[in-house]
Structure 1
Amino acid sequence: MLRRVLLASVGAVALAGTAMAADLPSRAAPPVYVPPAPIFTWTGVYIGGQIGYGWGTSNTTVGDALGGYTSFSTNNNGVIGGAHVGYNLQLNQFVVGLEGSVDGSSMSKSASGGYYIPAVDASFPVTVSGNMNIQGSIRGRVGYAWDRVLVYATGGVAFAGVNGSVQTPFGYTSTSTTRVGYTVGGGIEYAVTNNWSIRAEYRYSQFGTSNMYATNFYMDPVLSTIGAYGRRTINQNQVQVGFSYKFDMAPPPAPVVAKY
């Protein structure tokens, strides 16, 4: 009988201890709060660089005061590389923006030929040289985004520093001018992270017409009336790859601390 009473007492004490332990507050550490990753957007100011290859055609006309005339079509090509800065605004899946770019260029070409002057019944040699050492653009951009992939069209004003020379038996002259034209194209851009992106782009540019005039160096009474001129129209294609860094426009929201 005593043995049964003791066993019953031990069981009651064990049950009471278990119930009290269940009522005690937990001493386990709360779970660590992990803030959600920020939502990606194309909106923001960005800067970057680009490098590529350009090719084009310079259509040159050379003539003189006595009716001599000839024309050339030369193919120019070279490396193009520089920097860009811009701003994008994303509206749902549409992205609009403005971008400016400046590129150095190694595009250059020389061409030689001859032209016939009816007044003196003779042909004379002529050499035309030119290079484009710097170019740039201010363009609008309109695109459609699939999350981190952006396909866009671009177009705007283009400018270029054009150096040229024309040489004939009657004289030589050189000129350096800034030509203004237009540029249009498109590309694709991919955001590797929320700040860094890479791109590939094609553009066609037309820089208008530049003129050059050669001074007559001959003292002959007949040849002294002869003056040569050159007129060039410059077209260019370019493909470039590049990268951009987008600045965060506002600090991320403060993390929410969970309460337990």
Structure 2
Amino acid sequence: MRVDILIVSVLFLQSVTSQAQADDWSGVSVGAFTGIGLSQNSVRSATFNESTFGAAQSISDDDTEWSGGFTISAGWQIQNAVIGIGVDLDPFGATQQMDCRLIWADGFNSNVLVTDVGNGKCSRDVSWSVSIVGKLGWLASESTLLYGLGGWTTSRITQNYEWPSSLDPTSATLNGATVGGGVEHRLTQNWHVSVEFRATMFEERGVKGISKELDAPQISVVGGDVETVRLGVSYLVPWR
């Protein structure tokens, strides 16, 4: 009789332990993501010599850009709360078209001064981005997590001026705070999917260069904000 009771107790504890492991969100996750973003670019650039002046300034537009990459994170469940930290890498980059206000003036040292002002096209190439974010979530159910996030993003960008002027491309590494939130759903014990919104507020950074066309100084200020909706899939490896 005691043996039977012992066997039943062991089986019951094993069942409870297995269920606890299946319900536990603690572990290391690796995954991938894709998303679409709306960038509010900020760029001002100017170059000049004794006879010529050229400048450009960004104009707000609604052009979007696709992004994607990989993520690795670690999480810990404390009752119904889940805390975590993760690193995201976008090695592919993206190109976004944008409108610019263009100014061109020629003939400072002559009696004939030609000035042209109009709207033109510029573009911004993002070579790569890296984010480090912390997450704090609450389990709405055993399989659904609601969370907020905050952290830091670094991106390498090149600003291009697509018009026949004296402005050369400008490159800079921008840093900015990232905030957002999302929903993560567990399909199986290990496979998870998520939908989240992120907003990154990049700093404005001044870049000094030389215009090859004019052989004159070029001064640029680049920055802007990015709002992104992302879809992700990940595989969770439990701590235990």
Q: In which range does the TM-score fall when normalised by the shorter chain?
A: 0.7 to 0.9
1:82 equivalenced with 2:69 (yes/no): yes
- Kept in 2, the 8 Å contact 1:52–1:81? The answer is yes
Aligned to 1:215: 211
Q: Which residue is equivalent to 2:59?
A: 73
Instruction: Tell me if the contact between 1:216 and 1:227 (Cα under 8 Å) persists in the aligned partners.
Output: no
Displacement, 1:74?
4.4
For the Cα contact (< 8 Å) 1:77–1:107, is it kept in 2?
no
Q: 1:41 aligns with which of 17, 24, 45?
A: 24
2:129 aligned residue: 135
Distance 1:65 1:213 in 2: 12
Mark the CA change 1:123 to 1:212 in structure 2 (over 3 Å): closer, same or farther. farther
> Structure with the greater relative contact order (CA < 8 A, sep ≥ 6): 1 or 2?
2
Change (3 A) 1:185 1:246: same
CA distance in 1 between counterparts of 2:56 and 2:192 reads 49
TM value normalised by structure 1 = 0.70
Structure 1 166/200 Cα, relative in aligned 2: closer, same or farther at 3 Å? same
CA deviation after TM superposition for structure 1 residue 100, in Å: 0.7
* SS state at 1:38 partner: helix
Distance 1:246 1:179 in 2: 31
- Give structure 2 stretches of 5+ with no counterpart: 1-6
Q: Which residue identity does 1:97 align to in structure 2? A: G
Matched, 1:94 2:77: no
- Partner residue in 2 for 1:14: none
Shift of 1:217: 3.7
- Larger strand share, 1 or 2: 2
- SS, match of residue 55 in structure 1: strand
| Selected match of 1:114 from 86, 99, 102 | 102
SS in 1 for 2:169: strand
8 Å CA contact 2:69, 2:89 repeated in 1: yes
Map Cα deviations across residues 26-45 of structure 1 (whole Å, 9 max, x no partner). Answer: xxxx99x6952422111111
CA contact (8 A) 1:158 1:182 kept: yes
Greater Rg by CA: 1
Instruction: Say yes or no: does 1:229 pair with 2:215.
Output: no
Aligned equivalent of 1:23: none
1:196 deviates by: 1.2
Cα distance change of structure 1 residues 128 and 157 upon mapping to structure 2, 3 Å threshold? same
- Which one-letter code corresponds to 2:203 in the other structure? G
Tell me the alpha carbon deviations over residues 167-200 of structure 1, each in whole angstroms, 9 at most, x when there is no partner. Answer: 7766342243321111110000011122111100
- Distance, in Å, in 1 between the alignment partners of 2:178 and 2:34 is 17
Identity %: 20
TM-score scaled by length of structure 2 = 0.75
The CA deviation at 1:113 is: 3.9
Change in Cα spacing, 1:51 to 1:169, as seen in structure 2 (3 Å) is: closer
Q: Which residue of 1 aligns with 2:4?
A: none
8 Å contact from structure 2 (residues 95, 123) kept in 1: no
Instruction: Tell me the amino acid that sits aligned with residue 143 of structure 1.
Output: G
SS in 2 for 1:194: coil
- Compared CA separation, residues 168 and 196, structure 1 to 2 (3 A): closer
Contact 1:94/1:144 (<8 A) preserved = yes
Corresponding residue SS for 2:238 = coil
Name the residue aligned to 1:123.
Answer: 115
CA RMSD of aligned residues (A): 3.0
1:188 partnered with 2:180: no
State the AA in 2 paired with 1:135.
Answer: S
Q: How many residues align?
A: 214
* Alignment CA distance shift 1:170-1:240 (3 Å): closer
Give me the whole-angstrom Cα distance separating, in 2, the residues matched to 1:246 and 1:114.
51
